[in-house]
């Protein structure tokens, strides 16, 4: 009888913790081991069929600086970072098109409320469908998370991603001015400097328009093909980013998948991936001030952790 009572109490505690979403790292971590995360990240890496080939992207990183000089705001690179991008072959793909369609939906300065139209909601849903349900990479991520008990159906998975990534919260003055997607993929301006901004496509498009000036880089990953990782210094229309790390040459679905994998399984912690046999650490942060659903936390940030 006592044993049965203990089991009932443990089950009740477990259900209570699960209802809190991602707020209990001990429970989250117990579901998935580091080796399992590394294994599924290798699978996602292998399945990224929409990543750029060496002929589709040519970059010119130019000056490498030590971490001690990243705050100096010195423009040490006379040329743009992106020497060539084959837009016709890359940006015509459904996942890239769906991603780019989202980038003009945001007010970049925090403290300015975001207004989300029905068309923009449709763009969010299309992006999640194209990147997750319509790619082998996205199906692999769902299959893994489903097998570990995070989601029981595609509908549940996609709805949670929609809230996690596109749900609005306030970074400044109580205004509903931010979301995980805006912060990480599009970038924001907060307290007179660039905040977030960890995507190569966004970087390239702004650099092409003359709105972004690449200064230098303080980290270059060990990968000899794409995806690679850079930690960059740049000025975005008058606002400086001291270290903006991004996965270079990856597809939108790959970025979304690895950031989601890490946020769901290692919220607010360092997440250790393996890509092509080499380690990549992703740092995630939870938004702790407001929640959605049954106490789940919005994603505040996620990016490649560079030394």
Instruction: Report pLDDT for 29.
Output: 57
Instruction: Report pLDDT for 177.
Output: 85
Mean pLDDT computed over 267-290: 96
Instruction: Report pLDDT for 15.
Output: 40
| CA distance linking residue 292 with residue 280, whole number of Å | 29
Mean pLDDT computed over 209-220: 98
37-51, 62-76, 105-119: segment of lowest average pLDDT: 105-119
Mean pLDDT computed over 72-93: 98
Answer yes or no: are the C-beta atoms of 268 and 298 closer than 8 Å.
no
Q: What are the domain boundaries of the chain? A: 38-64+85-304
- 263: tokens are 């946020």
The overall average pLDDT reported for the chain is 91
Mean pLDDT computed over 43-55: 97
Q: How confident is the model at residue 232 (pLDDT cuts 50, 70, 90)?
A: very high
Instruction: Report pLDDT for 17.
Output: 33
Q: How confident is the model at residue 30 (pLDDT cuts 50, 70, 90)?
A: low
Residue 59 has pLDDT above 70, yes or no: yes
Task: Kindly list the catalytic residues.
Answer: 183, 198, 241
Q: How many alpha carbons lie under 13 Å from residue 48 in its C-beta half-sphere?
A: 29
Residue 302 has pLDDT above 50, yes or no: yes
Residue 14 has pLDDT above 80, yes or no: no
Beta 239-248 vs 228-236: how paired, if at all?
antiparallel
Instruction: Report pLDDT for 187.
Output: 96
Residue 16 has pLDDT above 60, yes or no: no
Q: How confident is the model at residue 307 (pLDDT cuts 50, 70, 90)?
A: confident
At 66 the three-state DSSP class reads coil
Strands (DSSP E) found in 53-142: 57-59, 82-85
Q: How far apart are the first and last CA of the chain?
A: 54
CA nearest to 252, candidates 140, 101, 106, 42: 101
Answer yes or no: are the C-beta atoms of 111 and 172 closer than 8 Å.
yes
Model pTM? 0.90
Mean pLDDT computed over 196-222: 98
Instruction: Report pLDDT for 153.
Output: 97
């Amino acid at each position: 009888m006592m044993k049965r009572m203990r089991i009932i109490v443990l089950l009740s505690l477990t259900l209570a913790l699960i209802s809190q979403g991602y707020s209990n790292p001990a429970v989250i971590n117990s579901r998935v081991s580091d080796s399992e995360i590394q294994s599924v990240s290798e699978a996602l890496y292998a399945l990224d069929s929409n990543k750029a080939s060496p002929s589709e992207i040519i970059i010119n990183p130019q000056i490498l600086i030590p971490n001690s000089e990243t705050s100096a705001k010195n423009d040490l690179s006379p040329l743009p970072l992106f020497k060539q991008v084959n837009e016709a072959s890359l940006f015509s793909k459904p996942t890239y098109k769906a991603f780019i369609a989202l980038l003009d939906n945001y007010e970049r300065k925090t403290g300015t409320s975001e207004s989300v139209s029905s068309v923009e909601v449709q763009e969010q849903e299309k992006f999640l469908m194209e990147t997750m349900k319509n790619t082998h990479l996205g199906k692999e991520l769902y299959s893994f998370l489903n097998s570990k008990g995070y989601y029981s159906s595609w509908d549940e998975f996609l709805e949670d991603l929609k809230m996690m990534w596109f749900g609005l919260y306030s970074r400044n003055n109580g205004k509903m001015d931010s979301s995980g997607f805006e912060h990480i993929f599009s970038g924001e301006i907060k307290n007179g400097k660039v905040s977030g901004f960890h995507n190569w496509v966004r970087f390239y498009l702004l650099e092409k328009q003359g709105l972004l000036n690449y200064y230098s880089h303080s980290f270059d990953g060990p990968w000899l093909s794409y995806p690679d990782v850079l930690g960059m210094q740049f000025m975005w229309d008058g606002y400086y980013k001291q270290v903006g790390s991004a996965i270079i040459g990856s597809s939108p679905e790959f970025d979304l998948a690895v950031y989601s994998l890490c946020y769901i399984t290692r919220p607010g912690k360092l997440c250790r991936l393996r890509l092509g046999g080499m380690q990549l650490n992703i740092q995630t942060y939870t938004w702790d001030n407001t929640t959605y659903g049954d106490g789940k936390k919005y994603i505040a940030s996620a990016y490649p952790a560079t030394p």
